[in-house]
Amino acid sequence: MKRCVLVIALALAMPAFAQSTPPAQPAEPAGGTSCHAEEAALERDMDLARSRGQMLRRRQLAETLAALRTRCQGAEPPQSRAARIDKLEHDIRLLRAELEHAEEQLRELKNQRP
């Protein structure tokens, strides 16, 4: 009788335990599609953080994105010179927009009355 109760209790507890344990992520993404999806999600989060003025959060996401790109480089074929140039130009445009936004916030803060 005690054994039956113990088995039932364990059976009921196992689904709850399985739900509370986060799934293990693979060290390397399975393929380029996964890398692209994660990269796109991080870029969206960075844009959102920038639009909300969360520069620290944006910087943290940028570091995570850089680590993701480094990790995924082995899974993807090397980019052409033109693609690397396009990517760097895109990154520069994003950084300039972020700088302009931060400068605008600084101007507004300086123009406010104490």
Specify the higher pLDDT residue, 17 or 13: 13
Scanning 21-54, the segments in alpha helix (DSSP H) are: 32-51
Q: Is the pLDDT of residue 19 over 50?
A: no
Q: DSSP letters of 61-97?
A: HHHHHHHHHHHHTTTSPPPPHHHHHHHHHHHHHHHHH
- The rounded percent of the chain whose pLDDT value lies above 90 is 38
Q: Is the pLDDT of residue 32 over 80?
A: no
Per-residue pLDDT, averaged over 41-56, amounts to: 90
* pLDDT tens digit sequence for 85-96: 999 999 999 999
- In angstroms, rounded to a whole number, what is the distance separating the alpha carbons of residues 34 and 39? 8
Give the number of residues written for the chain: 114
Structure-token match 């101007």, residue found: 107
Q: How confident is the model at residue 34 (pLDDT cuts 50, 70, 90)?
A: confident
Whether 29 and 71 have beta carbons less than 8 Å apart is answered as yes
Listed range (16-30, 51-65, 81-95, 98-112) with the worst mean pLDDT: 16-30
